[in-house]
Amino acid sequence: MAGVTHVQTTINGEQVNFLCEPRQSLLECLRDVLGLTGTKEGCNDGNCGACTVILDGRIVDSCLVLGVEVQGREITTIEGIASPEGLHPLQQCFLEHAALQCGICTPGFIVAAKGLLDSEKDVDEHRVREWLAGNLCRCTGYDKIVRAVLDASERMKQAG
Amino acid sequence: MEWIDYVAPTTVGEAVSLMASKGDRAKVIAGGTDILVMLRGRRRSADVLVDVKEIPELNEVSYDPQNGLVLGAAVPCYRIYQNQDVAAAYPGLIDAASLIGGIQIQGRASIGGNLCNAAPSGDSIPPVIVLGGVCNIAGPDGTRQVPAEDFCTAPGQNVLKAGEILVSISLPAPQANSGAKYLRFIPRNEMDIAVAGVGSSVLLDEGGQNFVSARIALASVAPTPVLASEAGESLVGKPVSEEAVQEASEKAQAAASPISDMRGTVRQRTHLVGVLTRRTLNQAIQRARGEE
């Protein structure tokens, strides 16, 4: 029986080394091994999207990825969304539109929405709702979240 | 989750020998969207996870208009619908690839995994069946091919024997004047398991007025996804008409053997098979005529 595995990967632009057991999910590695607790655990079975991260440009539920699978890959978590200059337009718009209450789902929504706005410039309400179907929120009721994402999309377009 | 080892072989041969040496204590992981949940919930148990995503044959998406599609068993849904050639040639497959789970799940989950998981509700299985899909299997005794309609044998069970893995799925090239459609019923808009699902494919004559052949397959209304052979065969040689579609939908209902559970009753599911068969046939006809 093998012991822990050494994994080298890139998280939020920085090369990271960590040790994990093969059974540990990427979510557990981020939170418990690396202390990146911005990524939240909700259902832990791929239904709620609270643990969404960007893996090689695609959004995934980090609870359904093993830590050992991310050797040599690139990951963006909520901690990598803001820049040293300030909040990302998505974060700013979530604040301005009051698109969060308890906040547990928020990192997942923001990371998932970033995955959309990184790849698609022109999004409408239908596309945003479809894209975010894998993220659950129990308090805000989605409308404010959708409005925040649409507003962020506009601001990002204007900023070029 | 119990302690488990992890290996990521880079060749089919290596994966097969690992699977053969560990027997049922080895489980394949592709997208992980089913197996990790089941291991965590102790509904499956294994000593080693064999990650097949490093094997080139399982990652292949190759389409050519003469030979059709070879779809690696571990290719995630998004790579299927983002491939413009594949999306144009097999819209009936895209219907399913773009509605399984949410975007996060589509970033990982594969059609091969959907087949191997063998859930009665596997959304991608009816379209693969009606498109004439063939499962390419590798094992200790070499390779073999199994038609998609014969791959799933019971809930959570498939034809794979000890040491065998699903390598890819082959779909024949789409013929002129053919079309396919998959639809499911769920009480939400997204992210749910089908109460009932139906895939239909049709081949029409040159004028688009008569059925040459048709296939209809059902999900969530039997222990496995099923090919409703008599329903499809009832259309052969008939003019395209509401009556013919109605008759096929009744035969599809007769091929269903649903149960009542938390998602729906026998009566609702039987009704849905009729509605979805008519809708998918009509939309497959439109696609065959180039009207969509």
Which of B6, B41, B101 minimises the CB distance to A134? B101
- Tokens 């209450």 belong to A101
Is the pLDDT score of A1 beyond 50?
no
User: What DSSP character marks residue A28?
Assistant: H
Cβ–Cβ of A133/B4 closer than 8 Å? no
Partner B contacted by A133 (CB < 8 A)? yes
Question: CA A149, CA A113: separation in Å to the nearest integer?
Answer: 7
Contact assignment for A22 to B49 by CB distance below 8 Å: yes
Interface of A with B in 13-32 (CB under 8 A): 21-23, 25
Give B225's strand partners: none
pLDDT tens for chain B, 292 residues: list them: 888 999 999 999 999 999 999 999 999 999 999 999 999 999 999 999 999 999 999 999 999 999 999 999 999 999 999 999 999 999 999 999 999 999 999 999 999 999 999 999 999 999 999 999 999 999 999 999 999 999 999 999 999 999 999 999 999 999 999 999 999 999 988 889 999 999 999 999 999 999 999 999 999 999 999 999 999 999 999 999 999 999 999 999 999 999 999 999 999 999 999 999 999 999 999 999 999 7
* Strands B48-51 vs B5-7: parallel, antiparallel or unpaired: parallel
Closest by Cα among A70, A66, A64 to A52: A64
What percent of chain A clears pLDDT 70, i.e. is strictly above it? 99
pTM greater than the 0.90 cutoff: yes
User: Which ranges of A26-96 would DSSP assign to H, the alpha helix?
Assistant: 26-28, 89-96
Nearest to A64 among B6, B36, B78 (CB): B36
> Taking CB atoms and an 8 Å limit, are B104 and A25 in contact across chains?
no
Mean per-residue pLDDT, A37-61: 97
pLDDT of residue A2: 58
Contacts 24+ apart (CB under 8 A), A13-19: A13/A80, A18/A67
Phi, psi (5° rounding) for residue B262? -60, -20
Residue pLDDT, tens place only, B15-41: 999 999 999 999 999 999 999 999 999
The predicted structure's pLDDT at residue B268 = 98
- Reduce the DSSP state of residue A119 to 3 states and report it: helix
The answer to whether residue B223 neighbours chain A at the CB level (below 8 Å) is no
Mean of per-residue pLDDT scores for chain A = 96
How crowded is residue B258: how many other Cβ atoms within 10 Å of its Cβ? Answer: 23
In sequence order, the 6+-apart residues with CB closer than 8 A to the CB of A34 are A11, A16, A18
Nearest to B102 among A44, A49, A58 (CB): A49
Q: How far apart are CA A152 and CA A148, in angstroms?
A: 6
**Contact A56/B at CB under 8 A:** no
Q: Does A130 touch chain B (CB under 8 A)?
A: yes
User: CB-CB: which of B6, B78, B189 is closest to A22?
Assistant: B6
pLDDT per position as a tens digit, A29-42 = 999 999 999 999 99
Give the ipTM of the model, two decimals please: 0.96
Nearest to residue B196, comparing CAs of B208, B213, B183, B207? B183
B78/A60 touch (CB, cutoff 8 Å), yes or no = no
Q: Residue A65: its pLDDT value, please?
A: 98
Give A21's contacts in chain B (Cβ within 8 Å): 3
Best to test chain B binding among A43, A60, A120 (most B CBs inside 10 Å): A60
